[in-house]
Amino acid sequence: MAFLRPFCSSVLFLLLSVTQVETQSAECSVNERLVEIMENNNPGLVVTNIHANPGIIVTIKSSTEASSPSEWFEIKDSQLILKKSVDFEEIKLLQPELICWKAGLQIENIKVLILIQNENDNGPVFKQTNITVDVPEDTKVNTTVVPLTSVTATDADLNPVYYSLEGSQEAMDYFNIQGINNPQIYLRKALDYEAINFMRFTLRAMDGNAGAAGTHTATATISIQIVQSDLKPPWFQPCTAVGGSKVCISLGYTSKVNLSEEASGPLILEPGPLYAIDGDKSLNEKVIYEIVAGNDNDTFKINRDSGNITMTQPANILKTFMLYIVAFQENNAFRYSQTTVKIDVVRKNDHRPYFNETNYLGRVSEAQPAKSLIMKANTSSEPLQIFAADDDFLPDKINPDIRYRIQNSSDFRVTAEGFIQITKLLNVSSPITLLAIATDINTLEEANTLVSIDVTPLATPTPTVPPVTTATFTETSTTNLGKGTTSQKPSILPPGISSPKPSGSTKSTSPLSSTTGKDNLTDITRNPVTVSVSSSVIPPFVTTLKPPVIPGNSTQFLTTNSPVTERSQRTVESIKTSSPTTTQAPPQSGASKPTPPGNFATTGGSVQSST
C-alpha cells in the first residue's frame, strides 16, 4: 500500500494544478494550491506565497474542522504560515481556505491542499511485551504453541515488519518462528520435562534491515513452561538410567532367610528396601505392588502399598526363590515396571568365619614353575595352609561353604583346602604381603588375614673340586694306538665320581653338590667339555642319559640308568668349565702312551664313554 501513496499524490496534484490554472484570478492567487510537507515539521513553516493586487486583503477562513483548523495557520508578509508541527499518524491532510477581499467584498476563494508526508519515526509495537505460555510435554512436533495474533507487532508508519527469535542454543533446538514475516512460534522437536522444563526467548520486530540507519526495533519476552505429562512408568529404586535418562532399569534385589524359620517383619533386602517412584516426578502418582511369579507355595507376600515383603510360612528346603515384582500406577495400570527379588534359603548362622592367625609366614624360591606350593617359612617340606574356622560347625569348625581368594595379587591363588600356589614364574626376589579372604558363599560373611611370603633368590654356583677317590681296574680298549696293537689304559672319572666296578653299579665316595638347579653342564659353561679321566675305567657301552631337573638349593643325589647296561650312573652338575679342555692321564708304567682324546666326555651334566 505504501507504494500507491506517491502515485495518488501525483495524480491529485495534476488535477488540482489544472483547476488552479482555470480558477485563480490575476488579482488574488497563490503559488501552489497543492503542497506536500514532511511530518514533524518545524513550527512556522511557509506553506505557499500569496499574490494580491493593491487594495486586496487576504484572510484565512475560520474553521473548526479537524482537517482545516484555522488556528494552525497565519498570513505573514504575503506568506501562508503553518504554525504547528504535524504528525502523520494523527493527521494526513490539511485544507486551509483563503478569502480575497476588495472594498469589503469577497472576490476570490482559494483552497490550499496540504498533503502530510510520512517519515519512519515510529517503531513496531507489540500488543504484549511479556508473554507466558504453558506447553504440555506430549505436544506433537510442528504444533503452533504461540499464535500469530499474540506476537504480531504493528507499525504506525505502515512499514513492513521483520521478526527474529533469540534464545539459548538448547532452547532454539525446541522452538522457533515460522518465518521473518510470520512470528508465530512452533515446536521443532519432542519435549522432555526431565531434560528441560522452562525456556525464555526474545522476539524482535524491526521496520527495516537490522543495523540499517533509521531502523526501529521492538522486543517481546516469550516464556515457555513445559507441563509434565504422564509418560513414564514407576521406577524401582535404586535404578540405572539408560537412553539419556529416559528409562531407569532396576538390577533387582536380594535377601536371605534361615532354613525352617519364618522371619518376623519385613525382609531386609539389598541394596535397599523395595520401592518405586513415579517416573514423572512432578506428577508423583501412587504406586501399587504385586508378586506375579516365583512365589512357590505362597511362601511370601507383599504389601501392595508399601512394597514390604514378609513370610507366610517357613521354607523347609535349601533353595532360591526368584520373585517377580510389578509396580504400576494406581490411576493407570498401563504405566508399570517390573523387577526381581532373589531370596536364598540358608542354614542359620550365628557365627562369622575367622582366621586363628593374623599373619601367615611362607617362603618360595624365584623361578619356580606355576602351581608350585608356598612352603612354611620355618620348614622346607611342609606347605603353607591357611584356615578359616567357623564355630557354627563343631567340633572341627570346618565350614564346607568357605571359599578362599587372594584379593591384592593375581600371581597367587588359594585352593579349596587353603594351600597357596603361584600362578606364574616369580622373577624378582622380594618379600610379598598378600591379603587372603575367606567367604561363606551362603551367608556372604567374610574374614581376612595377611600372608607374608619371602621370595628367595636362587643360589649362585661356586665350583669346588672335592677329593677324588679312585678304584683302578682294567678295561680293554679297541682303540688303535699303533700298528696292530691294543692297549689297556687307566681312566679317571671327574672329581667326585668313583670308578665303577665292571660288574656292578658305580658308587661315589664323595657327595656331589648341586646349587644351580641347571639340567646340564653345558647350561653352566655354555661350551662343551671333554675330560680325560685316569685311575679308573668306564665299562664299555655305558652312557648316561640327561638327568631330571634338580630343584634349586637341592643337595640330593640323582642317578640315571643306562639304556644298554641298566647300570646306574651318577649325574654331575657341579662341574663348571670355561672352555673345552683335554686332560692327559699320567703314564702308569713303561713307555708313555697318550690317552686318545674323547675317551670320556661330560655333556649335559653326565659322564659318557666314547670307546
User: Each residue of 5-45: pLDDT tens digit?
Assistant: 444 444 444 444 444 444 566 789 999 999 999 988 999 99
pLDDT top residue among 249 and 475: 249
Q: Are 181 and 164 in contact (CB under 8 A)?
A: no
- What are the start-end ranges of the E strands in 410-545? 412-414, 420-422, 431-440, 446-456, 476-477, 487-488, 529-530
Which pLDDT does position 468 carry in this prediction? 53
Least confident of 287-301, 342-356, 558-572: 558-572
Q: What is the DSSP letter of 341?
A: E
pTM of the complete model beyond 0.85: no
Residue 224 has what pLDDT?
97
H or E element, residue 6: helix 4-23
Q: Pick the more confident residue, 87 or 611.
A: 87
Which DSSP category does 546 fall into? P
Q: Looking at the predicted structure, is the pLDDT value of residue 486 above 60?
A: no
- Amino acid 143 reads T
pLDDT of the residue at 7: 42
Least confident of 369-373, 424-428, 541-545: 541-545
- Taking residues 181-202, report their average pLDDT: 94
Structure confidence by residue, pLDDT tens digits, 393-416: 889 999 998 999 999 999 999 999
pLDDT at 412: 95
SS3 296: helix
Mean pLDDT in residue range 164-169: 95
Q: How confident is the model at residue 157 (pLDDT cuts 50, 70, 90)?
A: confident
Please name the residue that has the C-alpha cell 685311575: 535
**Helices and strands per DSSP (H, E), number in the chain:** 4, 45
Helix (H) or strand (E) holding 182: strand 182-187
Output the pLDDT for position 121: 83
pLDDT at 607: 36
C-alpha closest to that of 415 among 386, 389, 450: 386
For residue 26, what is the DSSP state? S
pLDDT in tens, 378-396: 887 899 999 999 998 889 9
Q: Is the pLDDT of residue 225 over 60?
A: yes
**596 pLDDT more than 60:** no
Distance of alpha carbon 86 from the chain centroid: 71
pLDDT at 461: 61
Does residue 447 contact residue 400 with C-beta atoms inside 8 Å?
Answer: no
| Mean pLDDT on 485-490 | 43
* Among 63-72, 117-126, 404-413, the range of highest mean pLDDT: 404-413
Instruction: Mean pLDDT check: name the lowest of 105-119, 261-275, 338-352, 469-483.
Output: 469-483
Residue 50 phi/psi, 5° resolution? -105, 135
Question: Cell triple for residue 254?
Answer: 536380594
What is the chain's mean pLDDT, rounded?
Answer: 78
* Closest residue by Cα to residue 353 from 384, 387, 385: 387
Q: Is a pLDDT exceeding 70 seen at residue 471?
A: no
Q: Does 299 score more than 90 pLDDT?
A: yes
Structural domains present in the chain: 28-117 (2.60.40.60), 124-227 (2.60.40.60), 234-346 (2.60.40.60), 354-456 (2.60.40.60)
